[in-house]
Amino acid sequence: MQSMARPAPDATPVLRVEHLRKSFGAVQALTDVSLDVYPGEVVALVGDNGAGKSTTIKIISGVETPDEGRIFVDGEEVRIDSPAAAERYGIQTVYQDLALCDNLDIVSNLFLGREITRPLVPPFLRLLNKSAMEERAKPVLDSLGIRLPALSTPVASLSGGQRQTVAVARAVLWGSKLVLLDEPTAALGVAQTRQVLDLILRLKDKGLGVIVISHNMHDVFQVADRIVVLRLGRTAGVFDKASVTREHVVAVMTGAAAEVNGA
Ligand SMILES: Nc1ncnc2c1ncn2[C@@H]1O[C@H](COP(=O)(O)OP(=O)(O)OP(=O)(O)O)[C@@H](O)[C@H]1O
């Protein structure tokens, strides 16, 4: 593996994964993936198609279980055997499809599956308590500098960047300490991409750990503190953004750097 970079030698990472290995039948998706993320740090996970990025994220978020390897949250070894377990450890994932309900408004999407209700008469019926949900959501949105239309606006009418913002806000609203983002800017234009990158930087400012999968080197160099390069199911390099060039990252992704270095 190429040059390791560490933020603070005595800090405890919010997440550490060591030597993950995973196969799907005959396909060896991960052979040896290790990475860590510190509080207040953005780690970009990059690699060519099929390098193992999604499988790594799925293991951290409890969608897949590894064949081998260890996972630590705040220094404690954990077993993440379901998405619910990942949530219990404060890990929230925003997938590319965002899992939003288009026909519902913003506040209902923020509280999907965790709605605040109030009793009706007769008492076994309950009604959504939208004002309580809005009251609860507003300080979180404000603390992230998120500006959205009225929370009663249906999600279907939002722009791509706003939809991404709602999905990220939902992750933060539920007390996560690590947010995993899968290609958050893939479908966005320039202005919306900027909005989402700014939001990622605010998550970092709030002290959250963030892992971003991205194919876009420009975005990676805008927001990441460190860059983890996967190649053929292995961690091929971990770099401080400040001390690596895009060209070198791409060379490690494609294997060209290893050839040049004779590694
Ligand atoms: N459920 C599965 N069944 C069989 N093979 C799988 C499965 N999931 C992933 N793979 C294989 O594992 C390898 C790693 O895939 P993965 O999706 O993790 O890579 P990736 O880096 O996210 O790629 P991409 O950028 O194309 O999304 C690939 O060869 C892929 O075909």
Q: Kindly report the CATH number assigned to the domain that includes residue 236.
A: 3.40.50.300
What atom of ligand 1 comes closest to residue 52's alpha carbon?
Answer: 18
CB 174 within 8 A of CB 114: yes
Q: Is 231 in the pocket of ligand 1 (CB under 6 A)?
A: no
**Residue whose pair of structure tokens reads 């590319």 in the numeric block:** 96
Print pLDDT tens along the chain (263 aa): 554 455 555 689 999 999 999 999 999 999 999 999 999 999 999 999 999 999 999 999 999 999 999 999 999 999 999 999 999 999 999 887 777 888 888 888 888 777 666 666 666 666 677 777 778 878 878 888 888 888 888 888 888 888 888 888 888 887 689 999 998 888 788 888 888 899 899 999 989 999 999 999 999 999 999 999 999 999 999 999 999 999 999 999 999 876 444 34
The answer to whether 200 and 42 are in contact (CB under 8 A) is: yes
Three-state SS for 73?
Answer: strand
In a domain, 160, yes or no: no
**Inter-residue contact 178 to 210 (CB < 8 Å):** yes
Q: Tell me the CA–centroid distance for residue 184 and ligand 1, in Å.
A: 18
- Ligand 1 near 184 CB (within 6 A): no
Mention every residue, 6+ apart, whose C-beta is less than 8 A from residue 152. Answer: 105, 106, 107, 130
d(CA 189, CA 171): 23
User: Is 5 within the bounds of a domain?
Assistant: no
Q: Which of 23, 30, 55 to mutate to test the pocket of ligand 1 (most atoms within 8 A of CB)?
A: 55
Q: What are phi and psi of 248, to 5 degrees?
A: -70, -40
Count structural domains, the chain: 1
Backbone φ and ψ for 202, nearest 5 degrees, come out as -75, -35
Is residue 149 one of the residues assigned to a domain? no
Q: Kindly state the tokens that stand for 34.
A: 């290790």
Q: Is residue 26 part of a domain?
A: yes
For ligand 1, atom 11, name the residue with the nearest CA.
29
Does residue 253 fall inside a structural domain?
yes
In a domain, 62, yes or no: yes
* ipTM score for this prediction: 0.96
Is the residue at 190 inside a domain? yes
Please tell me the predicted confidence (pLDDT) of residue 262: 37
- Within a domain: 166: no
40, 207 Cβ separation under 8 angstroms: yes
Range of 240's domain? Answer: 15-90+176-261
- 3-state class (DSSP) for residue 153: coil
pLDDT given at position 175: 67
